[in-house]
Amino acid sequence: MSAPRPDGTPKVRGEFAFSSDLSAEGMLWGTTVRSPHARARIDRLDTAAALAIPGVRAVLTIDDVPGRRLFGLEHPDQPVLAEGEARFWGEPVAVVAADDRETARRGADAVVVDYTELEPFTDPTVAEDRGETFRVFDITHGDATGTVVVEGYYETGMQDQAPLGTESGLAIPDGEGGVDLHISTQWLHADHEQVVASLGLEPHQVRLHMAGIGGAFGAREDLSLQVHLCLLALHTGRPVKMVYDRSESFVGHVHRHPARMWYRHEAEPDGTLRRVEAKIILDGGAYASTSSAVLANSAYFAVGPYRCDAVRVHAVAARTNNPPCGAMRGFGAVQSCFGYESQMDRLADALGMDPIELRLKNALAPGDRLPTTGQLIEGSMPVREVIETLRAMPLPADETSGDPRRLPGGTGNTTPASAVVRGVGFAVGIKNLAFSEGFDDYAEVRASLGPDGLTIHTAAAEVGQGLVTVLEQIGRSATGVETVRVVWDTTAQIGSAGSSSASRQSQMSGGAALSACEAVLAEALRRGAGDRLDDAGVWRGDELVTSLADLTADGPIEQLERFRHPRTHPPDEHGRGDVHAGYAVAAHRAVVNVDPELGLIRVVHVDTAQDVGKALNPQAVIGQIEGGIMQGVGLAVMEEMILRDGQVANASFTDYLLPTFADAPTVEAAMIEDPDHWGPFGAKGVGEPPTISSTPAIVAAIRAATGAALTRVPVRAEDIASQWSVASDQ
């Protein structure tokens, strides 16, 4: 039985306040002037005409940024507003505040910017040749070779996180030179640090408040409108609200890096993997964001969850004039998984071996070393278990209904039942948990026991994943008190929880909550001289010794805890070292129906077995698995930001295709519980693994159905149809 979401009832009633629902007395609306060019010199920026519009209260440019003009999560290299040159299509150039949203938009239209268009650099391979890179990372280990060799070239497209809630927030000046910012973000304190730097204020003068978050998936890790809102509020002395519309959201946050990958696998005739070589180029776009870390992740997991004696990985994050790329669910592991799992199928074919047997033959286990880093695997690593569990799950029955809605053409009625071919595909993925490479990764939680129960204070972002429920559950389990609530403190009231990313919050903030609650319990029992706590108070045997009210009459019993995972280290010059705190693995099996003549696909069913350590809230875990798989479906068959000379051609929900209910496969999930060596109750993060191997499993299924050599995602209709027509001519 899973505990219910405390935020569920207001959400189904329409009463839950998302950041776009906030308002304040005397509030202005902000909007952003954006570059219409992928690369252009800014010759003149004239705000006079905009300021002359009645109701326009401020028009700000880079010259109005009092502090650091650059921001960035890892390397501050991105101007708060373009300075001298616009480096990607949609880059913010100026911001406007006005009495209402329409006036703000008219003001933005009236800002005069004279550009000299420059030729954009949009090809990451050319960028690498020119030395335009954010990071070049090589992993070199071993000299082994194998006699059976397969090579392949693979690509993945630029996917968007597309959270339903667009970027939005409300900044309120405090009248004393400071500001309160209400914002939906994945990492309140990282935002705070960057906002403070750009405003040139003292940290205590800027307070960030967590506002309701309409999904994230990596899109909210970097700053978007945070500094802009504060600048406008401080400049006008009035509250300012900003809400991106959908087209703006598509350029207002970073995206999943498109990847170009070359792979060479070498194995013994018995299937033993001996050598993997890979070259991976990620297009980082115009600014650094988290490209360095995403790149390293692609490289660290370039072999997958398999043993291998020799590894050569050359990985490059290129700088181009395309939209900046950064964090998205799976964080680099998604791209290389498509590469190595496509290769494993190719290798199985070359060996004449069952592809599942090939994977089992090479599956990593505790006590092995990760082939890339050489790090000894501690804790759980149930690769064999996820594969075998998945293999034992029954396949769905063949389609019998004949309902056109179940056919690849759907209600378009384009595909007759007789044209449908079915395929089954399989893939396994691996992901690190929490932050790696020596980053000081921690999460702070304060537990407070008062007369009304237990309160857990945190700054951790509840992006929809259900952390709020898990923290409450941990509070109840750890103390015996049933009345538990989670409170989001501001940056002035609590330390960082780190990011709601890298599948880390259940372990990190969960771990901090567990320690804090256990300390509160111990203190309550000491003060009450009892042996058990609940909502009534402290008990000794069957006797209530002290009520909660008496116990906390002099103030709440509080404990602040800062949780850290096992220490990690940067890699050496060969890319080797103890860089990760832990891992999770998952396997996916997809069943697809395809109309090969038209290239239409329906993903019918996906089975998965996922390593979850310990499922703290099974319903929330299933929700993460199903939702994550759907994003893998999206990358496999439809989701891609189309760029033309650096410009996004499909920045809308009409043109960027997201899986709907009609596209959703049924999902069966098996949770493999093998408690890990850290994290509360042995739990592991669960958010990202579903998105990693679901994509290659679906593509493998389409290959199995059609025989087409599909090396690129998303798979396009013409990729299938063109190969089918060639095959049927022969």
Partner 1 sequence: MIHLTVNGDPHSAEPGPAESLLSMLRNRLGLAGSKDACEQGECGSCSVILDGELVCSCLVLAADTDGSEIRTVEGIADGDDLSRVQEALLAEGGVQCGFCTPGFVVAATHLLDTNPDPSDDDVREALAGNICRCTGYGGIMRALTALREDS
| Under 8 Å between Cβ of 198 and 68 | yes
Task: Using CB under 8 A, pick the residue from 46, 102, 117, 398 that binds partner 1.
Answer: 102
Task: Using CB under 8 A, pick the residue from 272, 490, 619, 723 that binds partner 1.
Answer: 619
> How many residues contact partner 1, by CB under 8 A?
60
Task: Using CB under 8 A, pick the residue from 63, 119, 403, 718 that binds partner 1.
Answer: 403
Nearer to partner 1 by Cβ, of 113 and 625: the residue is 625
Task: Using CB under 8 A, pick the residue from 413, 652, 722, 725 that binds partner 1.
Answer: 652
70-71 and 643-644 beta bridge pairing:
unpaired
Nearer to partner 1 by Cβ, of 4 and 269: the residue is 4
Q: Verify binding: residue 411, partner 1, rule CB under 8 A.
A: yes
DSSP at 20: G
Q: Which position has the token pair 């999460």?
A: 443
Nearer to partner 1 by Cβ, of 629 and 699: the residue is 629
Q: Verify binding: residue 658, partner 1, rule CB under 8 A.
A: yes
Nearer to partner 1 by Cβ, of 401 and 418: the residue is 401
Q: What is the DSSP string of 495-558?
A: -----S-TT-HHHHHHHHHHHHHHHHHHHHHHHHT-SEE-SSEEEETTEEEEEHHHHTTTS-EE
Q: Verify binding: residue 402, partner 1, rule CB under 8 A.
A: no
Task: Using CB under 8 A, pick the residue from 465, 559, 610, 711 that binds partner 1.
Answer: 465
Chain centroid to CA 698: how far?
20
* Burial classification of residue 526, based on how many CB atoms lie within 10 Å of its CB (0-12 exposed, 13-18 middle, 19 or more buried): exposed
Q: Which position has the token pair 């998105």?
A: 691
CB of 653 to partner 1, least distance (A): 4
CB of 405 to partner 1, least distance (A): 5
Task: Using CB under 8 A, pick the residue from 662, 709, 726, 727 that binds partner 1.
Answer: 662
CB of 605 to partner 1, least distance (A): 12
Residues 288-327: x where in contact with partner 1 by CB under 8 A, - otherwise, as a string: ----------------------------------------
Nearer to partner 1 by Cβ, of 283 and 688: the residue is 688
Query: Given CA atoms 326, 331, 335, 336 in this order, what sign does their dihedral have?
Result: positive
CB of 100 to partner 1, least distance (A): 9
Instruction: Return all residues near 263 (Cβ < 8 A) that are at least 6 apart.
Output: 151, 152, 153, 154, 276, 277, 278, 339, 340, 342, 343
Of 41-49, 258-266, 617-625, 704-712: span binding partner 1 (CB under 8 A): 617-625
First to last CA, the chain: 57
Distance CA 10, CA 16 (A): 5
Task: Using CB under 8 A, pick the residue from 299, 308, 620, 672 that binds partner 1.
Answer: 620
Q: Verify binding: residue 329, partner 1, rule CB under 8 A.
A: no
Distance CA 558, CA 130 (A): 56
Distance CA 344, CA 330 (A): 20
Instruction: Return all residues near 61 (Cβ < 8 A) that are at least 6 apart.
Output: 45, 47, 81, 93, 94
3-state secondary structure 422-488: EEEEEEEEEEECCCCCCCCCEEEEEEEEECCEEEEEECECCCCCCHHHHHHHHHHHHHCCCCEEEEE
Of 381-389, 438-446, 510-518, 616-624: span binding partner 1 (CB under 8 A): 616-624
| Under 8 Å between Cβ of 94 and 41 | no
Residues 5-34: x where in contact with partner 1 by CB under 8 A, - otherwise, as a string: x-xxx-xxxxxxxx-xx-------------
| Under 8 Å between Cβ of 244 and 128 | no
| Under 8 Å between Cβ of 233 and 211 | no
Q: Verify binding: residue 243, partner 1, rule CB under 8 A.
A: yes
Q: Verify binding: residue 401, partner 1, rule CB under 8 A.
A: yes
CB of 17 to partner 1, least distance (A): 8
Where in 193-232 is the site for partner 1 (CB under 8 A)? 213-217
Task: Using CB under 8 A, pick the residue from 630, 636, 672, 683 that binds partner 1.
Answer: 630
Residues 419-458: x where in contact with partner 1 by CB under 8 A, - otherwise, as a string: ----------------------------------------
| Under 8 Å between Cβ of 320 and 132 | yes
Residues 481-510: x where in contact with partner 1 by CB under 8 A, - otherwise, as a string: ------------------------------
* Burial classification of residue 650, based on how many CB atoms lie within 10 Å of its CB (0-12 exposed, 13-18 middle, 19 or more buried): middle
Question: Which of 358, 320, 165 is closest to 244 using CA atoms?
Answer: 165
Instruction: Return all residues near 729 (Cβ < 8 A) that are at least 6 apart.
Output: none
Q: Verify binding: residue 664, partner 1, rule CB under 8 A.
A: yes
Copy the structure tokens of residue 608. Answer: 């998965």
Q: Verify binding: residue 463, partner 1, rule CB under 8 A.
A: yes
Of 186-194, 561-569, 649-657, 717-725: span binding partner 1 (CB under 8 A): 649-657
Task: Using CB under 8 A, pick the residue from 147, 400, 418, 654 that binds partner 1.
Answer: 654
Q: What is the DSSP string of 186-236?
A: SBHHHHHHHHHHHHT--GGGEEEEE-B----TTTTSS-SSHHHHHHHHHHH
Question: Which of 62, 70, 51, 117 is closest to 94 using CA atoms?
Answer: 62
Distance CA 356, CA 621 (A): 25
Nearer to partner 1 by Cβ, of 382 and 659: the residue is 659
Nearer to partner 1 by Cβ, of 5 and 307: the residue is 5
Copy the structure tokens of residue 193. Answer: 């640090």
Copy the structure tokens of residue 297. Answer: 């992740």
Residues 107-146: x where in contact with partner 1 by CB under 8 A, - otherwise, as a string: ----------------------------------------
Distance CA 315, CA 133 (A): 11
CB of 4 to partner 1, least distance (A): 6
592: left (phi over 0), alpha (psi -120 to 50) or beta: beta
CB of 690 to partner 1, least distance (A): 8
3-state secondary structure 570-631: CCCCCCCCCCCCCEEEEEEEEEEEEECCCCEEEEEEEEEEEECCCCCCHHHHHHHHHHHHHH
Residues 558-597: x where in contact with partner 1 by CB under 8 A, - otherwise, as a string: ----------------------------------------
Residues 152-171: x where in contact with partner 1 by CB under 8 A, - otherwise, as a string: ----------xxxxx-----
Task: Using CB under 8 A, pick the residue from 92, 464, 685, 714 that binds partner 1.
Answer: 464
CB of 498 to partner 1, least distance (A): 19
Of 170-178, 443-451, 534-542, 618-626: span binding partner 1 (CB under 8 A): 618-626
Q: Which residues bind partner 1 (CB under 8 A)?
A: 2, 4-5, 7-9, 11-18, 20-21, 102, 162-166, 213-217, 243, 245-246, 401, 403, 405-406, 411, 463-466, 619-620, 622-623, 625-631, 652-654, 658, 660-662, 664, 666-667
